Structure 1
């Protein structure tokens, strides 16, 4: 009876004695057609040990051109290794969690074993990335599954145990996934690929990973083609022949950069071998940039629905901290980010945040920025999930004392108008926001001193250009009306405009996260300094009725 132990013993003996290895085919067939997860689990580990032994004994070598027998054995074993890798690829999406994670560990174990085989290394990493992004069906599943998204446990294990720790694995992943995302027919037939790719790369960005830290490598110094000629691409590379990304993204390396205590290689990235690129910070940035620029158009090409909007927001959320600082040329994000502004809502807020980072840190010229920011001022912005980020961005953008008073007046007037229908939590944010701008720009003080004798407000709420709304000729009567607001905190804050502007500016962070719940908790925890007035309860009863004897002398607190 064939068992995992019997197959492994037989093949181990065959490898040691240089005898027939035909049992590999039978063993692969046995494991691939087994339905029991424990048998498959034992089988893939046994197969991993057998291939590791084959690699150590150099049985996968193709030998010299004259040694046909060695070459035939090497080619045959390589075919079996490919079948085994495709088997593992399916198990990455298996219903059994232990089997999924075991397959991932075996994949990276094989990568380390194949460090001296540059073509097999590249081919195996391509299989791994296809398994992670395409999520092919496991052979143990009898029915096709509609869900082809990467499992959380596989994603977390991949990022936490491998990609976030080892620079060379990150480099290979960025290269292989970027090449796959550029294949439009594959993306069209597999719409889950962009989500799976973002699923991994956003997790990688959220770990506060330093892309420039390349000292720790999984494959070792012997990996990745030390024998290739200058500028060569390894055999079996997944780079399309017409792909000119290497020259397009190439950047001059800094002569002062040092990696691992050694002076950085000053050769241009596209002229390096793979071995040299793995040890080069600019090369890592190049692959990282290529991967992101391949992913973003795929997100935009998805059907217009809530899923696409959610994915775009997830991508934009990590741009300013986890993406831009590690790109070769962050300015290349401009077109995609600017297009996201047209989405409106939370997407537009996040896109403007990314645009502002590009303008501030990377000298992007975007003349329509304030017009697009002003267009986001509507009733919905006060109820968005990203409301706090929007007001942080707006306060930062309006800090400059060189901005025209007409533009600033439009922003505070529009917010003042919106406050009429806003929640108390939003109003207690708008009031200190307006106060800070008035204090920083004294030319706007006329808006709170104007008496408003004219019955018509000159402010044009429909005007899209913030410099042509006539807001500077209006007043902030909307904020004045909040002095009689039903909420005590709002009414108290609104009176700040009647006082002399000698108080320091408000720390806006103290007001950004207010909600109905936080305002309610504040009121419940408020200490009563003066007891409220009381009255005899009988005063509120009709004259013809006498109160019950037991409550005649009770008192009720006045509302």
Structure 2
């Protein structure tokens, strides 16, 4: 009977047009008695749905869930909690709603990273989906930034098998101006890089075929992490209050972007928020720490050569000035590699020596070792001579 029922549901779904989906949504929003429309609408949020069907369904689902999210139990709630509730049926209903919301988030993430969603019309769909997801990040944790949902989003980006450039560029243009978005982006990227580094030992113990597949997958993830982290603007000390604007709060509430990727999916009483107010100086210190931790975790990864070179080209100007602890180990290791990689590491290493007091006794000895004919052909030879003549 189950296969026949599945086939019947698929046929029924195929008969829905935009007008019918809109009616399903209007009925759901108008009366709780139409709650069975919720699973039907969720069926249309998937990469294979026609764009107009997906958007019409998402419009209703967004309107349905947004006001409910602060009252729903967390996804980590246990069934045992229902026994302690004075309103067991109400709890069970809310737990079911939460499961449907989690299902919606999962579907939205699949749409965002789907290789089928690449042409112009589908990119417009992705923008709407991203905006919807970020609205959930804003309100689903009682007014605080929902870092658990946001971490799932970044995890989907860095592990995507299709291009994520459009998505990351969209995130950069629309949301990286908010300090809490940048803060939790850095936290998540650090965690993702650390987790990836831990998987290296698995690939080293795998057979040749599996190791090759793991290596290819790792390189793709590293490229995606780099494309994302290199677009997170560092925090600048400024008297401009717009630099402290938060996505999850009004711009007049300059509070600590607090939370943990594993733990902040919990309700926090509003009255406690008043204890989180931070000065711009303290926010700058915390942001600099997260910026440093994220970059150091990334630089410990086995970077592909093209990423390695691009990092070295930009490190001394874009990254080092904003780190709480200069990346000495990475640069000295890069310099010791030799050849063009050593040349590319020169500028950053020289800045650390002259501006940060780094002691590197063999610097000039290694500098002159690089004086070989091939160095005059290198793309970055100008930096070599600039340092040599300093």
Which interval holds the TM-score relative to the shorter structure?
Answer: 0.7 to 0.9
Is residue 296 of structure 1 aligned with residue 299 of structure 2? yes
State the shift of 1:48 in Å.
Answer: 2.5
Residues 359, 366 of structure 1: 8 Å contact kept: yes
Correspondence list, 1:463-542, <5 A: none
Structure 2 counterpart of 1:314, from 291, 310, 330: 310
State the shift of 1:295 in Å.
Answer: 0.8
Is residue 381 of structure 1 aligned with residue 384 of structure 2? no
Counterpart of 2:284 in structure 1 is 281
Taking a change above 3 Å as real, the CA distance of residues 44 and 387 of structure 1, as seen in their structure-2 partners, is farther
Is residue 30 of structure 1 aligned with residue 44 of structure 2? yes
Counterpart of 2:274 in structure 1 is none
Counterpart of 2:269 in structure 1 is none
Residues 182, 232 of structure 2: 8 Å contact kept: no
- d(CA) in 1 for partners of 2:90 and 2:330? 52
Is residue 127 of structure 1 aligned with residue 159 of structure 2? no
Correspondence list, 1:33-44, <5 A: 34-44=48-58
Counterpart of 1:156 in structure 2 is 169
Counterpart of 1:326 in structure 2 is 322
State the shift of 1:342 in Å.
Answer: 2.9
Is residue 106 of structure 1 aligned with residue 126 of structure 2? no
Structure 2 counterpart of 1:342, from 316, 336, 344: 336
Counterpart of 1:174 in structure 2 is 186
Taking a change above 3 Å as real, the CA distance of residues 233 and 124 of structure 1, as seen in their structure-2 partners, is closer
Helix, strand or coil at the partner of 2:57: helix
Counterpart of 1:85 in structure 2 is 105
- d(CA) in 1 for partners of 2:331 and 2:168? 26
210-219 or 193-202, which moves further after superposition? 210-219
Residues 25, 60 of structure 2: 8 Å contact kept: no
- d(CA) in 2 for partners of 1:314 and 1:193? 16
Residues 133, 150 of structure 1: 8 Å contact kept: no
- d(CA) in 1 for partners of 2:164 and 2:228? 11
Structure showing greater radius of gyration is: 1
Counterpart of 2:244 in structure 1 is 215
State the shift of 1:24 in Å.
Answer: 2.0
State the shift of 1:316 in Å.
Answer: 1.8
Helix, strand or coil at the partner of 2:359: coil
Counterpart of 1:203 in structure 2 is 231
Is residue 69 of structure 1 aligned with residue 89 of structure 2? yes
Per-residue deviation, residues 492-549 of structure 1 (Å, max 9, x unmatched): xxxxxxxxxxxxxxxxxxxxxxxxxxxxxxxxxxxxxxxxxxxxxxxxxxxxxxxxxx
State the shift of 1:102 in Å.
Answer: 2.8
Taking a change above 3 Å as real, the CA distance of residues 223 and 210 of structure 1, as seen in their structure-2 partners, is closer
State the shift of 1:70 in Å.
Answer: 3.3
Residues 174, 287 of structure 1: 8 Å contact kept: yes
State the shift of 1:232 in Å.
Answer: 7.8
351-360 or 215-224, which moves further after superposition? 215-224
Give the aligned CA root-mean-square deviation in angstroms: 3.3
Residues 45, 54 of structure 2: 8 Å contact kept: yes
- d(CA) in 1 for partners of 2:235 and 2:42? 40
- d(CA) in 2 for partners of 1:70 and 1:117? 23
Helix, strand or coil at the partner of 1:132: helix
Taking a change above 3 Å as real, the CA distance of residues 33 and 325 of structure 1, as seen in their structure-2 partners, is closer
State the shift of 1:200 in Å.
Answer: 1.8
Helix, strand or coil at the partner of 1:182: helix
Taking a change above 3 Å as real, the CA distance of residues 117 and 367 of structure 1, as seen in their structure-2 partners, is same
Higher helix fraction (1 or 2): 2
State the shift of 1:385 in Å.
Answer: 1.1
Taking a change above 3 Å as real, the CA distance of residues 346 and 159 of structure 1, as seen in their structure-2 partners, is farther
State the shift of 1:22 in Å.
Answer: 3.1
TM-score normalized by the length of structure 1: 0.53
Taking a change above 3 Å as real, the CA distance of residues 117 and 33 of structure 1, as seen in their structure-2 partners, is same
Residues 319, 354 of structure 1: 8 Å contact kept: yes
- d(CA) in 2 for partners of 1:48 and 1:293? 38
Per-residue deviation, residues 82-115 of structure 1 (Å, max 9, x unmatched): 2222222122233332233332222222222325
TM-score normalized by the length of structure 2: 0.74
Helix, strand or coil at the partner of 1:183: helix
Taking a change above 3 Å as real, the CA distance of residues 186 and 85 of structure 1, as seen in their structure-2 partners, is farther
State the shift of 1:179 in Å.
Answer: 0.8
Q: Whose relative contact order is higher, 1 or 2, with alpha carbons under 8 Å and at least 6 apart?
A: 2
Residues 345, 384 of structure 1: 8 Å contact kept: no
Helix, strand or coil at the partner of 1:30: coil
- d(CA) in 1 for partners of 2:52 and 2:71? 29
